[in-house]
Structure 1
Amino acid sequence: MADSQIILITGASDGFGHLVAEKLLAKGHTVYATARRTDRMCDLQDKGAHVLHLDVTNTEEVQKVVDQLIAEQGRIDVLVNNAGFGQYGVVEAVSEEQLKYQFDVNVFGMHRLQQAVLPHMRKARSGKIINLGSIVSHVSAPILGWYASTKHAIKGMTEALRMEVRDLGIDVVEIEPGAVRTGFEEVAFDALDKVQAPSDYDTVVKGMTNASRNMYKSAPGPERTANAIVTAIEASRPRAVYKTTTDSHILPLIKRLIGDHRYGAMNLWMARRTL
């Protein structure tokens, strides 16, 4: 077993975060599992996790959690920046309020955690930051535009941070899954239902919604992605990027091969086939 590490995970109430926490606890690591819904982490607490409430949009709460971890453990070895959600809807119809909240959670939430942990990692000249990216940091599709934009932002930021801290003993890793059944999809589709789009978009919204639901029915569960995160945590020299599903490997390659216009036409054709 790898040496025990002190690990902070955001968004650990379900999905990747919850499963990763379980796997790390089973390996003997010290896990601080955080989320807004602490009631969903009672099983993690029973297994030895330090369960803390954390809203990643609240800067003071982020700092309080990191301060508590440092006070209790003296160091932080790994940050798993996992908290995030999908705001689906056509670009025109998503409101400014919805868009700001999407970025506040997915992008600025990561920034808050990184700012809180990096001073400790720099002082120790050691640490890992693992950011949850996505296939949609490379490709986008109808109704995914604003969610994809947050993942594009995460990719750009993660690449820069990796270079900035390279000589400080800190590794920065991006995890890039494609479609995975974690419960994320239902939250995203619920968000889509709250977006009032003009009727001109009915065909593309209905088609893409049907296509996405069909895709998730055959999508893998979170196991492979969770294993990749654990591998990155325990590796002495982790890879910069872990692509964890078949589509995360294939779709960016297809886009590069056929070009933007044909890739867009392919997406629309697939969506219309479901009508």
Structure 2
Amino acid sequence: MSCNAAVFRFAPSPNGELHLGHAYSAMVNHDLARSSGGTFLLRHEDIDTARCTPAFERQVEEDLGFLGIEWDEPPRRQSAHMHDYAAALEALAAEDLVYPGFMTRGEIKAYVERYEEDEGKPWPRDPDGAPLYPGLDRHASSQERERRMSEGERFAWRLDVERAIEMVPALTWEEHGASPLGESGTIVARPLEWGDVVLGRMDIPTSYHLSVVVDDAIQNVSDVVRGRDLFYATSIHRLLQALLGLPDPRYHHHELILGDDGRKLSKSAQDTSLRSLREAGMTAEDIRRMVGLPGRPPA
């Protein structure tokens, strides 16, 4: 995993309290950075300005301090760099790779239900289980698009994934962790499984998929270490990196810390929040042992 000048990052969204799963990912990244002599970065992924708050951001930093985690540069706040994401979106638009998708969630749901009833088979879904975007407006004329946008109709900028994969060679990535099915090594990317993903909205020029690849490139991240729930999203990230001419980091998708019910932890579960555990008298060493890490981090 490690190499000279390795750069790792922990990138939470400050929209709730950190829990044990966040602690595990942050400590694994920090341990790898310190053991390799590399750099550890903190990024606040706060593009959702309705839910992300300065108060949660401060608490993220307090929780990391409690865990003994120090970052080597001032944190990057996505909300302060919307121009970077807008420029990436404009570059994709210049290649005719994005289009305004006007279908609402309700319209998508109704379309899928009609299809499944008429055809007697399920509509395709992405790896997260959401129905693929029907793309009825993918080939609308520029005049129609401009008319609907000028009239204030809400839309999302979507990637024309079929056109995009025609422009790049077969994509792979090097996986140093494992997929949910145990795959590792050289992984073949399958972005078509995601359909026409959202890359930006009429009021926010980015989405998670676009901002994360732009940020990783700007910050020279060499090793993306994150939970296995994001393993399949790497296919879209590799496609965007290739389209935008961005470097491709090494990937390590680690196991998830699950609750007693076997489900992924949620920020709404207060009993596993780091603040609750800290207030209950637990130490950073206790937290490390709870998530299966050695009691002391690398020097």
Settle same-fold status: TM greater than 0.5. no
Q: Which has the higher helix share?
A: 1
Q: TM-score, normalised by structure 2?
A: 0.31
Q: TM-score, normalised by structure 1?
A: 0.33
Of structures 1 and 2, the one with the larger relative CO (CA 8 A, separation 6+) is: 2
